[in-house]
């Protein structure tokens, strides 16, 4: 319900998407001559998305004390 925090999160998420695309495109370029290039790129996207999901969970869906999180920890 915090509009300022939500707006900031949306801005950060847009920047993260640009980073993920740029980084994983660089991975594709690194492997561009091999048939594994698509697998490497998809693995890059999956790994970064898992890390980002956990980062968002830790920042926005957990508490500083020992209270249970709003949602369970994301699985890898």
Q: What is the 3-state secondary structure (H, E, C) of 30-60?
A: HCCCCCCHHHHHHHHHHHHHHHHHHHHHHHH
**According to the model, what pLDDT value does residue 21 have?**
98
Residue appearing with tokens 């001559």: 33
In whole angstroms, how far apart are CA 66 and each of 22, 37, 38, 63? Answer: 37, 43, 42, 7
Are the C-beta atoms of residues 74 and 53 closer than 8 Å to each other? yes
**Digit-coded pLDDT (tens) for 21-64:** 999 999 999 999 999 999 999 999 999 999 999 999 999 999 99
pLDDT bracket for residue 1 (50, 70, 90):
confident
**According to the model, what pLDDT value does residue 50 have?**
97
Is the predicted pLDDT of residue 72 greater than 80, yes or no? Answer: yes
In angstroms, the CA 75 to CA 73 distance is 6
**According to the model, what pLDDT value does residue 45 have?**
98
């Amino acid at each position: 319900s915090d509009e300022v925090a939500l707006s900031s999160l949306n801005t950060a998420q847009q920047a993260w998407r640009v980073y993920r695309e740029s980084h994983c495109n660089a991975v594709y370029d690194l492997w561009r001559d091999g048939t594994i290039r698509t697998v490497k790129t998809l693995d890059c996207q999956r790994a970064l998305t898992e890390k980002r999901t956990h980062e968002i969970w830790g920042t926005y869906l957990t508490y500083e004390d020992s209270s249970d999180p709003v949602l369970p920890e994301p699985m890898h």
